[in-house]
Structure 1
């Protein structure tokens, strides 16, 4: 009897320990790994990561870097991925999807999907992505030096010689400006050959082919340039130069770029990735990021006050003016553009 009783007690004790081991209260938190751009991470932590962690009861680890480096990492770890959710440019995501690194999305799992602009829905085809922010590239000019700029073609005017900056074609904004030059000068081919020819023809009129937005702020502040194509997310910084600057939406429209989200193929936490994606697209999060001038919203329910709207790609006129470069066009011609550019600039 004593032996049986002892065995029973041990069995009960073992059952209790097993129950304790799998109790949710003692379970390890799940970790979602996000691959993102390094810019504004403290603000993303405040308005996206921290509130989401509280909501999901999980942890978030963030890897940062540029498009190319992060796609290379995804490729290197394709058989045993570390990253769950990745944020890339639209053309970067298309490249990743073509490499088999991204899984198709089930948009029915995103309750906020119906609230975003149509161009942000399935932006690269194949159901691989969803847009989470956009930006415009318009023309900015010194009002005390230039009467007006109403067309992209105005950058070719005689009074612009030695007073403009253009983005280098190797930058994210380079192909966007190339497209607008092509549109303005009546280009008819998808490789923007007319735009390329026109830009190279005025290379000696250009103060610099800028590699980043910080350069533009310095050039305007030091009175070296009077006009340049500018990305909307840098407008607030340019205004801090104290120069009399004006933003112009040219008659041909504004160049536009979009960043998108996708879920990594074989992700171990795809369910959490969907939840974070949907949270990011919500009116509340999109509004908070727009108010902090971090990202312009794609959620159509966002309402911004005038002082914040001015620095976002936001509002009917801005949205209607956007001209996106097709991601497949950029991927197809990127190498040829770089080759033509480097050869043409060095002549």
Structure 2
């Protein structure tokens, strides 16, 4: 009897060790916002589907890219999500590997701009947002990015600081409106400097703008679409501009870490995230604008997102290399000409 018990205990131990050895674990690096929604909509269902464990690491882009660099020789993260410019930086540092898009069953459902944002199939876009101008329609009409400098709006505009996510895209479109669309943004920064006394503030947080608009201190401001909801609820006739030069914005992408220990699982997770079902649920919670063009949303939700063929076709996104190669120069010019 004792021998039988010992044998069965040894067998149980071997079984447990084997099960532990076979347990799959996916480590992902993501932005810290909306994690409760992501857990409910994405992480938990994927764990149930794959029979694996999803380990989530959060932080800002600088911190997360630094961790990838620090563990370059022995990666501890399998996949990460960042902006297109940060993805290009990771590529140049040799931190990411090409994505085998033939293993993504939802790849063909994506808008074209999301399929290969930085080239070489080194990333896939999972969400994007438009940047345009929100304005008081009863006070002014905005048909061009140049209208931010009109006499009618002098002393009534909040302009994004160059250090914000909305700063460079806004300058990019101002340059386009001027016919001076160069990556150094020299012309638009000079124009802002020329009119700097006409701006109420150079804002650093979009949350500032709702209060300024509510108090009627401003009539217009360039914003990202994700900030639209606060303006839409006001008792003023607020509109989202469709400038003749188009709209710009930004995109967040998925990337596969070079040497990832769970490459196949990472690709499976990417595909799940890009599915019509998951992209729809995240959009319905106003977490992300969908890069999957099969997602169908009611107007009440769509109006708060960057959604639909018509809007996506108008997006003129800054090239990732232009952003990455010129950031320091933009800041230097801004500090010298516009100040803080």
Unaligned runs of 5+ in 1: 1-5
Contact 2:293 2:308 in 1 (8 A): no
Counterpart in the other structure of 1:111: 105
Q: What do residues 229-258 of structure 1 show as CA deviations (whole Å, max 9, x unaligned)?
A: 111111112223443311111110001211
1:313 matches 2:324:
no
Instruction: Give the structure 2 partner of residue 301 of structure 1.
Output: 294
Unaligned runs of 5+ in 2: none
Which of 62, 78, 83 is residue 77 of structure 2 equivalent to? 83
Give the distance between the partners of 2:259 and 2:83, measured in 1 at CA.
21
Taking the aligned partners of 2:290 and 2:245, their CA distance within structure 1 comes to: 23
Report the more deviating stretch, 187-196 or 201-210: 187-196
Measured after TM superposition, the shift of residue 313 of structure 1 is 0.8
Number of residue equivalences: 339
1:182-331 matches, cutoff 5 A: 182-331=175-324
SS in 1 for 2:40: helix
Q: Distance in 1 between matches of 2:216 and 2:170?
A: 22
Distance 2:248 2:29 in 1: 26
Q: Sort the Cα spacing of 1:226 and 1:80 in 2 relative to 1 into closer, same or farther, 3 A.
A: same
Equivalence for 1:144: 138
Could you say which structure has the larger radius of gyration?
1
Change (3 A) 1:11 1:59: closer
Whether the aligned pair in 1 keeps the contact of 2:125 and 2:253 (CA below 8 Å) is yes
1:50, distance to aligned residue in structure 2 (A): 1.2
Q: Deviations over 1:6-58 (max 9, x none)?
A: 99x8997698457524554x656432221111111111111111111111112
Which residue in 2 is equivalent to 1:50? Answer: 44
Aligned counterpart for 2:114 among listed residues 92, 117, 120: 120
1:165 aligns to what?
158
Q: What displacement does 1:202 show?
A: 1.2
1:344 aligns with 2:332: no
Q: How far has the Cα of 1:308 moved from its partner? A: 1.2
Structure-2 separation of matches of 1:62 and 1:230:
30
Who is 1:97 aligned against? 91
Aligned to 2:338, what secondary structure does the other structure show?
helix
CA spacing shift, 1:59–1:225, aligned 2, 3 Å: same
- C-alpha change, 1:306 and 1:10, in structure 2 (3 Å) is closer
Check the 8 A contact 1:181/1:199 in 2, yes or no. Answer: no
Asked if the contact 2:172/2:181 (under 8 Å) is kept, the reply is no
- Three-state SS of the structure 2 residue aligned to 1:92 is helix
SS in 2 for 1:73: helix
**One of 44, 50, 62 as aligned partner of 1:68:** 62
Conserved in 1, the CA contact under 8 Å of 2:186 and 2:333? no
Which residue matches 1:20? 15
1:178 to 161, 171, 181: 171
Is residue 186–residue 194 contact of structure 1 (8 Å, CA) maintained in 2?
A: no
Cα distance, 1:135 vs. partner?
A: 0.4
Q: Secondary structure at the match of 1:324?
A: coil
- 1:23, 1:84 → 2: CA distance? 23
Is the contact made by 2:193 and 2:337 (CA closer than 8 Å) also made in structure 1?
yes
Normalising to structure 2: TM-score of the pair? 0.94
Q: TM-score of the superposition, structure 1-length normalised?
A: 0.92
Question: d(CA) in 2 for partners of 1:189 and 1:151?
Answer: 18
Q: Look up the match of 1:32.
A: 26
